[in-house]
Chain A
Amino acid sequence: MKNHDTLKLQSWLPKVKASSLSGWSVFLAFLLLPAFVWAQDAATLAMQVEYRDVPGIGSRNLIWIVAQQHLLLAGFVLGVPIFAWICEIVGWKTNEPRYDKLAKEFTKLLTSAYATTALFGGILLFLLIGLYPKLMAYLSDIFFPSFIAYSILFLLETATLYLYWYGWDVMQGKKKVFHLFLGFLLNLFALGIMMIPNSWATFQASPVVVTDGTAIERAWAAMQNPTWWPVNIHRFIANIVLGGFICGAYAGVRYLQAVTKEERERYDWMGYVGNFIGVFGMLPLPFAGYWLMREVYQYNQQMGITLMGGFLAWLFILQAMLIGVLFLGANYYFWMGITYRVPGVAESYKKPILAMLIVLMVSLAVWMTPHSLVASLQEARQMGGTHHPLLGVFGVMSAKMTVANLMILVTFISFLMYWRAGKQETAAWAKIAKAVMGALLVIAGLAVIVLGVWGYFVPAIIRINYFSVAQVLIVLFIMVTFTPLTALLMKSAKTTTEMIWGQMPVRAGYTLVSNAVMVILLMSLMGYARSSSRVHWHIYGVMRDTSEYAYSPALGYAAAFMSLNTFVFCMIVAFIFWVATMGDKATQGTEHGQPEDSPVKIPGGVAPAIAGGSPREGQTFVNPVPMNKNEDT
Chain B
Amino acid sequence: MSEVAVLQLMGLCVVGTGILILLFLKAVFVRVLGFVIIMLGIFTLIALGVPQMASLPPAVETFDIASVKTPDDLASIGQKIFFSKGQCALCHSIGPSESARCPELAGIGAKLAPEFIYESLTQPQAYVYLDFRHDGLPEEYPARMPHINKNPIALSEQEIYSVIAFLQKMSGEPISIKVEDVLNIDVGEMKVASLVGHGGN
Contacts and interface: CB of A to CB of B under 8 A. Distances in A.
A514 B48 CA distance: 21
B191 interface: no
Contacts of A374: 50-51
Interface stretch (A29-37, A114-122, A359-367, A547-555): A547-555
Nearest to A325: B39
B10 interface: yes
A591 interface: no
Contacts of B57: 535-536, 544-545, 550-551
B50 A314 contact: yes
Interface stretch (A19-27, A203-211, A388-396, A604-612): A203-211
B47 A541 contact: no
Contacts of A321: 46
Contacts of B145: 209, 211
B54 interface: yes
A253 B28 contact: yes
B47 A559 contact: yes
A73 B37 CA distance: 20
B84 interface: yes
Given A208-B90, A253-B28, A560-B7, A552 B43 contact: no
Contact of A563 (B44, B52, B150): B44
A535 B29 contact: no
Given A211-B145, A536-B57, A257 B50 contact: no
A124 B144 CA distance: 33
B55 A212 contact: no
Interface in B31-81: 31-33, 35-37, 39-41, 43-44, 46-58, 60
Contacts of B83: 541
B178 interface: no
Contact of A558 (B47, B58, B99): B47
Contact of B90 (A207, A317, A532, A567): A207
Interface residues of B, number: 51
B35 A557 contact: no
B12 to A, nearest CB: 12
Contact of B32 (A208, A211, A510, A544): A510
* B90, B98, B152 — most chain A CB neighbours (10 Å): B90
A209 B41 contact: no
Nearest to A540: B90
Interface residues of A, number: 56
A513 B46 contact: no
Contacts of A562: 43
Interface string B149-174: 01011000000000000000000000
A56 interface: no
B32 A551 contact: no
B40 A563 contact: yes
Contacts of A411: none
A455 interface: no
A542 interface: yes
Interface string B1-41: 00110010011001000000010000011011101110111
A298 interface: yes
Contacts of B49: 556
A541 B87 contact: yes
A545 B60 CA distance: 10
Nearest to B151: A141
A151 B1 CA distance: 49
A52 B47 CA distance: 30
B3 A557 contact: yes
Contacts of B41: 563
25 contacts: A209-B145, A211-B143, A211-B144, A212-B147, A212-B150, A256-B28, A256-B32, A299-B99, A314-B51, A510-B35, A514-B35, A535-B55, A536-B57, A541-B90, A542-B152, A545-B57, A546-B60, A550-B57, A551-B54, A552-B54, A555-B48, A559-B48, A560-B48, A567-B37, A570-B36
Interface of B: 3-4, 7, 10-11, 14, 22, 28-29, 31-33, 35-37, 39-41, 43-44, 46-58, 60, 83-84, 87, 89-91, 98-99, 101, 143-147, 150, 152-153
